[in-house]
Amino acid sequence: MLKPLPDAILAPLTKGGNLPFRRLCVEFGAPITMSEMAYARQVVRGSRPERALLRKHPSESCFGVQIAASKPEDAVAAGRIAVENGAAFVDLNCGCPIHDVVRRGMGATLLQRPAALQRIVAAMVEGLPVPVSVKLRSGWKEDEINAPEIARLCEEAGAAMVTLHPRTREQRYTKAADWSLVARLVQERSIPIVGNGDVLTWHEARDRRAESGCASVMLGRGVLIKPWLFREIVEQRTWLPTAEERVGVYARFIAHCREHFGDDEKGRKKASYFLPWHFGFFCRWRPLPEAIFEARAKTYPLMQTRIDGEGDGAGELSPLERILRDPREAVHKQLATLFWDAPDAAAACAALERLAAETPAPLDGEAGEVAVAHG
């Protein structure tokens, strides 16, 4: 793990944190990347899909593997396999709210079992030759906020870093992240505390760090919408890419996918599992000029704010811009196919123009609530 920590870290993104996407983030300046969450027990049993999550790209200079575990022995065994595959640190997931995870006694369930959580962390610290970190949520629900207690137990067990996503398991993403809780952990603990939640712009990353005192910010949904967020944070300035420039970014991502999964029907099938999902995030990007939105972001996170048309020229969209912003899942599947078949960004632009001419605009109600997360 890098010391001192950089300004921003890529979050472990289930479904989104595939190797090609992490590679794209590295190209935009991500200094620390993390795998998708892997089930420790399945890693130990040799599951090929789960083991595949541990694979790193040569460009990932500091790569961490996140595991979900309910037993110390599974966590240690899986952690050792991760290290053998190049992990610079191993992270224990103690925040995943998904039903399939919590029903197995992992993820956010561990927030309700502090002693068991501490035993797992202690075993990992003792049994692994690399640093161990822990990712938490605030608690199980609003009247059970126990992140401060859990963070203390993690530090006592020897964890090198704690990341807090300051929402409860019950809240999911329905409320704004409570960064005052991140600040509390920073004041109470002597190990690095990383804050995670609702960071969509470089100035929000700057302000959250300044307000909380956290060692770094972890980027999740924000970087899914705009992978270039890492570059914005490094350069401390907003990039407002044209539609053509964004096509270039997406085409580069698809090229990484073809290289990783194979440029054939088998590779296409593997990539089709998550590519439409990615376009479901890419379509949420909107230009947020600092002159208009920097002050506003200080009072309420832009990720949680619905903004219709202000500052983004929504009434004068080109056909290319319109199709890239289309929120419909059916269109995202078409985009995935189109980009996969296009030999380069120029060909993708031409195909997108044709698709835009053939595709009616969404009807009222079809756009849903996509605009609550701008970029």
In tens, the pLDDT along 26-62 reads 999 999 999 999 999 999 999 999 999 999 999 999 9
279 and 211 in a common domain: no
Q: What is the mean pLDDT of residues 339-361?
A: 95
Of the three residues 235, 257, 292, the one that is the final residue of a domain is: 235
- What is the value of pTM for the model shown? 0.94
Same domain, 45 and 153: yes
- Supply the pLDDT for residue 146: 94
At 190, which amino acid appears?
Answer: S
Flag whether 249 is in a domain.
Answer: yes
Co-location of 49 and 197 in the same domain: yes
Active site residues: 96
Residue 310 belongs to domain spanning: 243-372
> Are residues 229 and 267 located together in one domain of the fold?
no
pLDDT band at 370 (very low <50, low <70, confident <90, very high): very low
Q: What is the pLDDT of residue 369?
A: 41
pLDDT surpasses 70 at 69? yes
Boundary residue ending a domain (235, 261, 285): 235
pLDDT tens, position by position, 91-131: 999 988 888 898 999 999 999 999 999 999 999 999 999 99
Q: Are residues 280 and 351 part of one domain?
A: yes
> Number of structural domains, the chain?
2
pLDDT in tens, 146-202: 999 999 999 999 999 999 999 987 766 667 899 999 999 999 999 999 999 999 999
pLDDT at 264: 94
Neighbours of 156 (CB within 10 A): 11
In a shared domain, residues 291 and 351: yes
3 is a domain residue: no
**Structural tokens at position 106:** 């992992």
pLDDT over 50 (residue 277): yes
Alpha-carbon torsion, ordered 320, 287, 197, 231, to 10 deg: 90
Would you say residue 374 has pLDDT above 50? no
Tell me, yes or no, whether 252 and 218 share the same domain.
Answer: no
**Do 261 and 205 belong together in one domain?**
no
Point out the domain boundary residue: 184, 219, 235: 235
Alpha-carbon distance of 286 to 142, in angstroms, equals 32
CA atoms of 9 and 34, how far apart (whole Å): 8
